[in-house]
């Protein structure tokens, strides 16, 4: 089974304790028990996260794994430290 979907005006909550990432639009692809997310204009508290990606490997199984490739174009301030410490 393979599927592809496009979403607009998205909020993603990676951790319950963190504010959401706001995303203009996102493509989600499912193939071989893997979900891949590609984002357009993602921001976290008005900080650009352009180039960031996420995937869930083993989706639907007992050993699923979230993989994040975060790109944040700002200095290493308190907000960024909060994100890093949450993981």
- Judged against a pLDDT cut of 80, whether residue 1 lies above it is answered with yes
42-69 confidence digits (pLDDT tens): 998 888 999 999 999 999 888 999 898 9
Residue with tokens 């007992």: 62
Q: For the residues of 16-57, what is the DSSP string, one character each?
A: TTSPPEEEEEEEEEEETTEEEEEEEEEEETTEE-TT-EEEEE
Q: Which residues partner with 85 through β-bridges?
A: none
Q: Judge whether 65 and 48 are in contact, CB under 8 Å.
A: no
pLDDT in the model for residue 84: 78
More confident residue, 12 or 74: 12
For 28, what's the count of Cα atoms within 13 Å in the CB-facing half-sphere?
12
């Amino acid at each position: 089974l393979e599927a592809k979907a496009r979403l607009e005006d998205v909020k993603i909550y990676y951790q319950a304790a963190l504010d959401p990432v706001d995303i203009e639009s996102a493509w989600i692809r499912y193939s071989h028990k893997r979900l891949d997310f590609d984002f357009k204009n993602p921001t976290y508290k008005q900080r650009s996260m352009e180039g960031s990606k996420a995937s869930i490997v083993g989706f639907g199984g007992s050993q699923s794994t979230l993989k994040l490739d975060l790109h944040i174009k700002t200095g290493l301030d308190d907000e960024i430290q909060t994100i890093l410490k949450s993981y």
